[in-house]
Structure 1
Amino acid sequence: MRSRPLYDVIAVLARLGVGIVFMAHGWQKIEAGINETSRTFDGLGVPLPTAAAVYSAFVELLGGAALIVGLGLPVTGVLLFLDMAGAFAFVHADQGLFMVDGNRVRNGYELVVALGMASLLFAAGAGGRLTLDQWVIGKRLRRPDDEDEEDAASFVASLRQAETKPVKKPRSPRQLKSPAPAPGPAEAPETSGKDTGVAEGSADDVLVAGRRKSQRRRASTTQPIKRGDDKDPSA
């Protein structure tokens, strides 16, 4: 089983070696001049020689530097792979495998195949973690995810707190409009013996409507009936 730190170190060394080769070829084309490179491509049968010279020179130089530092590896790897695919198809395919066979320079396709496949591997994610993509761009891309996770966690916590709190039942309109309860018999004010009739009558009016009526009946039965038109028969 491979060790992740060891793999990252090996990936850095591989990017360094491939990137140096690409930068050397790109610098060679720029040093010779774009026009001279274009005439060479034209003599080799490359279509659109000027555009091909500009593309290959700058992609190889800048792409090799990007491979070394690990910047934009998916895009850089694809561009370098297309550069080597064009070189294989238009220049090296009919020259055989070996670049040098014996004492003859055959200009074979072994180098462009190796460089092209390595670029494709880097584009597919084989560049390791020791890259600018991981340190700079990856860090910025991970920040919104962390903030979203924190927001989601706080939202869930607030929902749990709302569930644990007791829910107060709203009072009905009838309860809101109901008057205060009347004081009981024990809270009725004490009265003196002299004014028992008036005090009891007022208390009867407050407590029960029928109690005052019964008090009046008792008062009428205890008092004598006076008749103004009755005369003494002896007079």
Structure 2
Amino acid sequence: MPATVRDVAMLLARIGVGIVFFAHGWQKLVTNGVDGTAAFFDQVGVPLPTVAAWFATGVELLGGAALILGAAVPIAGVLLALHMLGAFIFVHAGNGLFVDKGGYELVLTLGAASLLLAAVGAGRFSVDHLLAGRRRAAEPVPAGRA
């Protein structure tokens, strides 16, 4: 696959997954409220529900924004994948696959996509790539290599 096609595909995947995470974080913060999210977490047996609600809200908002921008994608991807593992274990695992039954298809898909982005990085059309290029340009050239 040509590099440009690969980078555009990574950009679109990052933006799509990032929007979904950001929207869910926004929902936890604004629509349900962190207290409402914590109450739900308590009901389903999530340990430290208030701390978990703040973590879930923050990682979805900040991690989603990071994916959209392509900033710190390996870190954001790992945190989001771990978050989805928790959602799988505490909320969705016992409900089967399909989301209409409360199943894990969405958290499985989002977790797998997050893990893939963490592994392959943000791609050329990203803040990560821009910053890496600036770091390389600022590095001194070793003696004898000029």
Q: Which residue of 2 aligns with 1:140?
A: 134
RCO (CA 8 Å, sep 6+): is it higher in 1 or 2?
A: 2
The share of aligned pairs that are identical, in percent, is 52
- Listed one character per residue, the Cα deviations across residues 19-43 of structure 1 (whole Å, up to 9, x for unaligned) are 1100110000001211111011000
- Listed one character per residue, the Cα deviations across residues 51-80 of structure 1 (whole Å, up to 9, x for unaligned) are 110000011011101101100011110110
Q: Which residue of 2 aligns with 1:12?
A: 11
Q: Which residue of 1 aligns with 2:86?
A: 86
RMSD of Structure 2 on Structure 1 (CA): 1.3
Q: Retained in 1: the 8 A contact 2:71–2:122?
A: no
- Listed one character per residue, the Cα deviations across residues 120-175 of structure 1 (whole Å, up to 9, x for unaligned) are 01111243211101112x02331354x233x3336xxxxxxxxxxxxxxxxxxxxx
Structure 1 runs of 4+ off > 4 angstroms? none
Q: What is the TM-score when the length of structure 2 is the normalising length?
A: 0.94
Q: Which residue of 1 aligns with 2:124?
A: 129
Figure out how many residues of one structure are paired with residues of the other and give that number: 145
Q: What is the TM-score when the length of structure 1 is the normalising length?
A: 0.59
- Residue identity matched to 2:135: L
Q: Retained in 1: the 8 A contact 2:122–2:128?
A: no
- Listed one character per residue, the Cα deviations across residues 153-201 of structure 1 (whole Å, up to 9, x for unaligned) are 36xxxxxxxxxxxxxxxxxxxxxxxxxxxxxxxxxxxxxxxxxxxxxxx
- Listed one character per residue, the Cα deviations across residues 191-213 of structure 1 (whole Å, up to 9, x for unaligned) are xxxxxxxxxxxxxxxxxxxxxxx
CA distance in 1, matches of 2:84, 2:39: 19
Map of 1:66-105 to 2, 5 A cutoff? 66-100=66-100
User: SS in structure 1 opposite 2:141?
Assistant: helix
User: SS in structure 1 opposite 2:89?
Assistant: helix
Q: Structure 2, unaligned stretches of length 5 or more?
A: none
Query: Larger Rg: 1 or 2?
Result: 1
